[in-house]
A and B are shown apart, each in its own frame.
Chain A
Amino acid sequence: MPAARSPDPKPGPLRLQLLARIAAAIFGGYALCWGFIALGLALLYTQGILSFHDAEHLSSMLGLLLYLLVFCWAFVARSVSRLWVCLLGGAALMAGAASLLQRAHL
């Protein structure tokens, strides 16, 4: 059975950190997965590896599993600021790459 939780009532900075982690898990995670799915779809389709809907389905399947991982990671990551940088940065990089692939292909 789990031992003691964090001290309650939470002092200010801890509560803020917790909110930051929850936001990272939900919204940061969503952004990262959007980027992942977009990149997966664009890459697999434009490079002729899979048909459009196959690329969509495969990217979604893997993207959802990624969301689960990232969601849990948000609460174990040691640095919250590094967590956010990774999530948003990764999302931007992958989504950007997807749009570039699309532009090159059309």
Chain B
Amino acid sequence: MFQNFRLAMAWLHTWFGLVLGFVLMVAFFFGALSVFDREIDRWAIPQTRFAPQPMPSFDRVLRPAFERMQPSRDSVDSMRERVEGEMPTHFETVRRWGAYTTHRDPVLAVFAGYELPGAKDPEDAVWASHTMDPRSGALLSEGQLRIGSEFFYPLHYSLNLHWRDLGIWIVGFAALVMLAALVSGVVMHRKFFREFFTFRPGKSRQRSTLDLHNLSGVLALPFHFFFAFTGLLIFAGLYFPVGHSQLNPLHELHERLEAQETGLPHQRAGVAAPLASVDAMVAEAQRRWAAKGMAGEVGFLAVQHVGDANGYVSVYRAGTDRVALTGEGMHFKAATGELLREDPPRTAVDSVNEFLTGLHLQHFRHWLLRWLYVLGGLLGCVCIATGFLFFVEKRKKQHARDGSAGSRIVDALAVGTVTGMPLAVVVMLLANRLLPAELAGKGDWERALFWAAWALALLHAAWRSSALAQARSNPAWREQCAAIALLAPAAVLANALSTGDHLFRTLASLYWPVAGVDLSLLFGAAVAGLTARKIGRAGAVAHASALVHGPADLAARTGAALAEVKHG
């Protein structure tokens, strides 16, 4: 079909890269933002702008809050069809209480799972989930959206498209295509090592775009490969649910054997029992970790079979100084506080798996590496974006002559993704500061405005793409860059006015979460503004020339103009 191996790989790279590139832009851009998801949360929810806190006392702070909890209305509603007869109004039997925190969290996540009486599937449960201020035990109101961890982060792996996990499947497929694009990209470019050092901005736009595409691809190749692969690995159980379908009998056998081995009861005993001091259990766990030479903080606390004689408390060490998220679990009998089990050291395979997924999820404390992750993610975006630009540049003259809409469509989608996406982010953050804090469903408004802004950016790009019919550049690039350059500082200003945490104050007190977001917004505005200016000048020169000298000279003159701008 293809004359040779390289041509086949070139076809694969071009066409699969083009189609899935838009999904990959979302994954890489919001993945880069997700590195600082909790910091974006601080910016978006000013009442959480205080220093990170350790796990609070269970007996004094967590237990009273847990005992007052009931399942959320959303969870109850979603389970209504899975119950025979009436849905109960009050849920008595608690399967599990859980509290989770990391070294970056001022507030912690608490959740509770309740048995569902009358459920058709006995494994089903209803859930309550809250954010708690650990200093007081107060639960934060539910209307406020954690823009970083609850929106940008799930967006990067699921497109926030939750129907039957369709979004996770789409991103998964895009990740597979990313791996294929990296492999085929390497095959296509014979001068692999030379391309590390090749970037010729003075040459024609097509040449310099390709240079930048190759450079950003090759420079961060291990990073791109690693993140696509580990992303797939994290969701491998979802993509290939072998153990829950074809080999479910083996899985059930394993569960039964393991419950016998670990001594952690699988079911309730049906006998009521009190809960001993969990703080004492936590202290014991920390003593044992220290004795093993790995003193640490508590990352995750869970109580299983609450109120039952078979109940047990699990205490996990936070992965602040490890690649694994949590570990070294200790399990205590809930009624007496006696140690039931210390998790054994990980097996080789488990260590490798935890290492790979832990490096992707990156919860450990290492700020330099965190910023390198952001850089890698943005390089991935540059690689994909220049891929689109090169695709269009290579074909737009031909398409203009043939009257084909191909490069016009791709260009419009490219603008919508490359500039439209950051624009939607900036609009969402601005809305977050402009909408009143007590607004009911504020989170829903923010989400709606994000999607609306993105849709508008796409429409704008489509409308302005008529220029491509004459083989000219789409003015929407410059216009959207200009919009970002205006709105991003507006968001910074809105933060200063609505919370008083302006840059001088946050930098003086070294409160980096808010200062970081503000500085990043200003940096983004600067990049967008400079880009808009550069495009504007080159475009004006090229446009004037085109009118006089015709399309044939356009490429040469654009190159010359870019060189002028570079030296001017």
By a beta-carbon cutoff of 8 Å, the part of chain A in contact with chain B is 1-3, 5-6, 14, 17-18, 21, 26, 33-34, 37-38, 41-42, 45-46, 50-54, 56-61, 63-65, 67-68, 71-72, 75-76, 80, 95, 98-99, 102, 105-106
Contact = CB atoms under 8 A, between A and B. Distances in A.
Contact of B250 (A14, A37, A65, A106): A106
A42 B352 CA distance: 20
Count chain A CB atoms within 10 A of each CB in B7, B210, B229 and give the residue with the most.
Answer: B7
A64 B229 contact: yes
A96 B38 CA distance: 46
A106 B188 CA distance: 50
28 contacts: A1-B210, A2-B6, A17-B1, A21-B1, A33-B240, A37-B242, A38-B246, A41-B242, A42-B247, A45-B254, A52-B250, A54-B347, A56-B237, A57-B350, A61-B233, A61-B236, A67-B176, A68-B180, A71-B176, A72-B9, A72-B12, A76-B8, A80-B1, A98-B247, A99-B246, A99-B247, A105-B253, A106-B250
Contacts of A51: 254, 347
B250 A102 contact: yes
B1 A18 contact: yes
B249 interface: yes
B2 A75 contact: yes
Dominant secondary structure at the A interface: helix
A60 B250 contact: no
Contacts of B188: 2
Given A5-B11, A45-B254, A76-B8, A34 B240 contact: yes
Contacts of B10: 2, 5
A59 B353 CA distance: 11
A60 B180 contact: no
Given A6-B1, A60-B233, A67-B176, A54 B243 contact: no
A34 B11 CA distance: 27
Contacts of A53: 350
Contacts of A5: 7, 10-11, 14
B266 interface: no
B349 A54 contact: yes
Dominant secondary structure at the B interface: helix
Contacts of B356: 61
B495 interface: no
Contacts of A37: 240, 242
B12 A57 contact: no
B90 to A, nearest CB: 37
A42 B247 CA distance: 8
B interface residue count range (under 10 / 10 to 19 / 20 to 34 / 35 or more): 35 or more
A50 B349 contact: yes
A9 to B, nearest CB: 11
A26 B243 CA distance: 22
Interface of B: 1-2, 5-12, 14, 173, 176, 179-180, 183-184, 188, 210, 229, 232-233, 236-237, 240, 242-243, 246-247, 249-251, 253-254, 258, 347, 349-350, 352-353, 356
Given A3-B7, A61-B233, A64-B236, A72 B246 contact: no
Contact of B12 (A26, A67, A75): A75
Contacts of A33: 240
A46 B249 CA distance: 12
Given A21-B1, A52-B258, A59-B242, 15 more contacts: A1-B210, A6-B2, A38-B242, A38-B247, A45-B254, A50-B349, A52-B251, A54-B349, A61-B353, A63-B236, A64-B176, A68-B176, A75-B1, A75-B12, A76-B2
A36 to B, nearest CB: 9
B249 A102 contact: yes
Contacts of B184: 72
B180 A71 contact: yes
Contact of A64 (B12, B14, B173, B232): B232
Nearest to B182: A68
A60 B350 CA distance: 12
A63 B241 CA distance: 13
A31 to B, nearest CB: 11
Contacts of A98: 246-247
A75 B353 contact: no
B31 to A, nearest CB: 18
Count chain A CB atoms within 10 A of each CB in B9, B242, B254, B356 and give the residue with the most.
Answer: B242
List the 10 closest A-B pairs by CB distance, nearest first. Answer: A2-B10, A52-B254, A60-B236, A54-B349, A57-B353, A75-B8, A68-B179, A76-B8, A38-B242, A58-B349
A38 B253 CA distance: 16
Nearest to A34: B240
B250 A45 contact: yes
A51 B356 CA distance: 19
Count chain A CB atoms within 10 A of each CB in B10, B179, B352 and give the residue with the most.
Answer: B179
Contacts of B179: 68
A26 B177 CA distance: 10
